[in-house]
Amino acid sequence: MYSLILTDQDYADICWVGHRYGWSDVLSRITCPGENHISEVDMWDFSKAVEDDGPLFPLLDPRSDLYEKLVILWQSIV
């Protein structure tokens, strides 16, 4: 299991990006505000979506806390 803690604003940002990109589409379906426990299968779906999108997390500011959380999550996949 993987863990991701999202603030209300983090989740709102993910939902705002919505179906424009695979990473946000996956996360909007498998997470909610608060502490999320993400299965191995869902993490592989997330990883594939990130790789298919091209640059990391389009539409997110690379200086944002959410961007940093998602990079750490993505890099934690074994």
Instruction: Check if the beta carbon of residue 4 is closer than 8 Å to that of residue 38.
Output: yes
Tokens read off for 49: 């979506």
Model confidence pLDDT, tens digit, residues 5-63: 999 999 999 999 999 999 999 999 999 999 999 999 999 999 999 999 999 999 999 99
**Do you know the residue count of the chain?**
78
Tell me if residue 29 falls in helix, strand or coil.
helix
- Report helix, strand or coil for 56: coil
Tokens of 53: 């999108």
Please tell me the pTM assigned to this model.
0.93
